[in-house]
Amino acid sequence: MTKKIIIAIDGFSSTGKSTIAKQLAKELGYIYVDTGAMYRAVTLYAMQQNYISENHFNLQDLIADLHNISLSFTFNENLGFAEMFLNGTNVEKEIRTIEVSKLVSKVAAISEVRKKLVSEQQEMGKNKGIVMDGRDIGTVVFPNAELKLFMTASADKRATRRYKELLDRGDNVKYEEILRNVQERDRIDSTRKDSPLIKAKDAIEFDNSDMGLKEQFERIMSLVNARI
């Protein structure tokens, strides 16, 4: 009889957290939650309501309107993962654009936003059997998670990955713009006051700049097996 655990995966943007998290969830029959998608959906909402753009941010209006934001995930059988819904609309594609990426770290730095999302995330994990990825999962959301992983990779490797993903989607982007965005988000995410991105003391670090996906998955699965 195996026991259900919580697997917390944190790390910088585009370190392959979601790829490994999805694989783990599939292998174990666990729920997978991409918390970055939740911060991105709140950012999209703020853009749609004109609370934020590249040159303005009506912080108080967004905070006052947070109770009108309903976030949910619905599993898509064809894709093999859960898609993000914002107030009942599938926004999976819209939240991945460079425009959202440029503003999301500003929205994610707001304590009121974090409070709302962290409590929703804790609710999703209350029965365990969950793989959650983000920036503060092992430190704030589930400080008692049975397994904590911290993923790193060079900024260049990460920007190259993200660039290829966006090109494959048909987006018109420049590599330099993606690299700048990755570096800028690293800076904001790790220096913000509330829940900055830091490695939890008991997290196991993986630098996957040069590690293949298969090797990484096997190493992580042996850590999981030792805990269930």
Q: Which residues have C-beta within 8 Å of that of residue 12, sequence separation ≥ 6?
A: 151, 152, 153, 158, 182, 185, 186, 189, 197
Q: Does 125 bind ligand DC (CB under 6 A)?
A: no
Residue 181 within binding range of ligand DC, rule CB under 6 A: no
Nearer to ligand DC, 143 or 228 (CB): 143
Nearest to 12 by CA among 149, 171, 131, 163: 149
Nearest to 17 by CA among 7, 3, 31, 27: 7
Nearer Cβ to ligand DC, position 110 or 222? 110
Q: Could you give phi then psi for residue 128, rounded to 5 degrees?
A: 60, -160
User: What does the per-residue mask of binding to ligand DC show for 43-82, with x meaning CB under 6 A?
Assistant: ----------------------------------------
- The answer to whether the beta carbons of residues 140 and 124 sit under 8 Å apart is no
What part of residues 75-114 is at the interface with ligand DC (CB under 6 A)? Answer: 104-105, 108
Residue 35 found at the interface with ligand DC (CB under 6 A): yes
Any contact of residue 21 with ligand DC (CB under 6 A)? no
Q: How many chain residues bind ligand DC (CB under 6 A)?
A: 13
Report the b/e string of 160-178 with b at 16+ CB within 10 A: bbbbeebeeeeeebeeeeb
Please identify which residue in the block is written with the tokens 């040159």. 55
24 contributes a contact to ligand DC by CB under 6 A: no
36 near ligand DC, rule: CB under 6 A:
yes
- The reply to whether 139 sits near ligand DC by the rule CB under 6 A is no
Binding site for ligand DC (CB under 6 A): 13, 35-36, 39-40, 104-105, 108, 134-136, 185, 189
